[in-house]
Amino acid sequence: MKIFKSKILVLLLTMVLAITFVGCGKINTMSRIKKNNKVVMGTNAEFPPFEYRNDKGEVDGFDPAMAKEIAKELGVELVIEDMAFDSLLNALSSGKIDFVAAGMSVTPERLENCDFSESYYTASQMIIVRKDNTEIKGRDDLKGKKLGVQEGTTGDLEASEIENAEVNRFKKAIDAVLDLKNGKIDAVILDASPAKVFVEKNDDLMILDEELTNEEYAIAVRKGDKEFLEVINKVIRDLKASGKYDELVKQYIE
Ligand code: ARG
Any idea what the CATH number is for the domain that residue 189 is in?
A: 3.40.190.10
Asked whether the predicted pLDDT for residue 98 surpasses 70, the reply is: yes
Atom of ligand 1 nearest to the CA of 217: 1
Residue 25's pLDDT is 57
Asked if 152 and 86 count as a contact pair (C-beta separation under 8 A), the reply is: yes
Per-residue CA distances from 159 to 16, 165, 203, 251 (Å): 50, 7, 24, 31
Q: CB within 8 A of 130, min separation 6: which ones?
A: 180, 181, 183, 204, 205, 206
Q: Could you tell me the residue range of the domain that residue 233 belongs to? A: 27-122+216-252
Residue 7's pLDDT is 72
Give me the mean pLDDT over the 55-64 stretch. 98
Residues 91 and 207 in one domain: no
> How many Å lie between the centroid of ligand 1 and the Cα of residue 107?
11
> How many Å lie between the centroid of ligand 1 and the Cα of residue 144?
24
Asked whether the predicted pLDDT for residue 28 surpasses 60, the reply is: yes
> How many Å lie between the centroid of ligand 1 and the Cα of residue 106?
10
Ligand 1 pocket: which of 63, 99, 100, 153 to mutate (most atoms <8 Å of CB)? 153
Residue 14's pLDDT is 65
Residue 26's pLDDT is 77
Give me the mean pLDDT over the 113-124 stretch. 98
Residues 188 and 86 in one domain: no
Residue 1's pLDDT is 57
Asked whether the predicted pLDDT for residue 21 surpasses 80, the reply is: no
pLDDT digits (tens, 9 = 90+) for 76-91: 999 999 999 999 999 9
Residue 13 lies in a domain: no
pTM value is 0.90
Residues 161 and 57 in one domain: no
Percent of the chain with pLDDT over 90: 89
Q: What is the average pLDDT score of the chain?
A: 94
Ligand 1 pocket, 168 CB below 6 A? no
Position 156 confidence tier, pLDDT thresholds 50, 70, 90: very high
Give me the mean pLDDT over the 46-59 stretch. 98
Residue 27's pLDDT is 83
C-alpha 183/C-alpha 170 separation (Å) is: 16
Asked whether the predicted pLDDT for residue 13 surpasses 90, the reply is: no
Residues 136 and 203 in one domain: yes
3-state secondary structure of 82: strand
Ligand 1 pocket, 105 CB below 6 A? yes
Atom of ligand 1 nearest to the CA of 44: 10
